[in-house]
Amino acid sequence: MVDADACPVKPEIYKVAERHDIRVILVANSYIPIPRDAEKVERIIVSDKFDAADDWIAENAKPGIIAITADIPLASRVIAAKASAIAPNGRVHTENNIGNTLATRNLMDSLRSAGTITGGPAPFSPRDRSAFLSALEQTIQLLKRSGFES
């Protein structure tokens, strides 16, 4: 499942999914174009209600599912459902690291709310794209070895 509204790695996801013959579900608040030849890519358009896409992804997360999202609270919800979560920069969220990641995110959010200039995230880079591809491939292989099918 892909938190698709602002996902910068959709083309990479399509290629990897085609190579592994796995289904991709794009979840968005508005129309997202998909490649015409992408037989296993499905588009789910949810309401424009705040967090509607996140809620849909979290409600449908389960073991064997990979969620692609830059949203740390959503990643936490996905991990709680025993699914896998990968950020577009290649960061793999796990039960072991999501607590610290969420706490850091909340601290930075509080600092920004108090007027502290924190700088924001680094720009998305080719290195991030490469790290994402590697993390996605490794996660797919791990799930296949664990008995999950596409």
pLDDT at residue 150, rounded to an integer: 60
User: How many other C-beta atoms lie within 10 A of the C-beta of residue 130?
Assistant: 12
Name residues of the chain where pLDDT drops below 50. none
DSSP structure class, residue 122: P
Domains of the chain (ranges; CATH) run 2-145 (3.40.50)
The answer for residues whose C-beta is within 8 angstroms of residue 116's C-beta and 6 or more apart is: none
pLDDT at residue 54, rounded to an integer: 96
Q: How far apart are CA 1 and CA 9, in angstroms?
A: 13
- 115 in helix, strand or coil? coil
pLDDT at residue 45, rounded to an integer: 97
pLDDT at residue 79, rounded to an integer: 97
pLDDT at residue 125, rounded to an integer: 94
pLDDT at residue 120, rounded to an integer: 67
pLDDT at residue 28, rounded to an integer: 97
Q: Is the pTM of this model over 0.85?
A: yes
Q: How far apart are CA 107 and CA 53, in angstroms?
A: 24
The phi and psi torsions of 26 (rounded to 5 degrees) equal -95, 125
Q: Are strands 2-3 and 41-45 parallel, antiparallel or unpaired?
A: unpaired
Name the helix (H) or strand (E) containing 11.
helix 10-20
Contact status, residue 87 vs residue 93, Cβ threshold 8 Å = yes
pLDDT at residue 3, rounded to an integer: 97
Q: How far apart are CA 2 and CA 70, in angstroms?
A: 10
pLDDT at residue 97, rounded to an integer: 87
Place of tokens 């992804």: 57
pLDDT at residue 14, rounded to an integer: 95
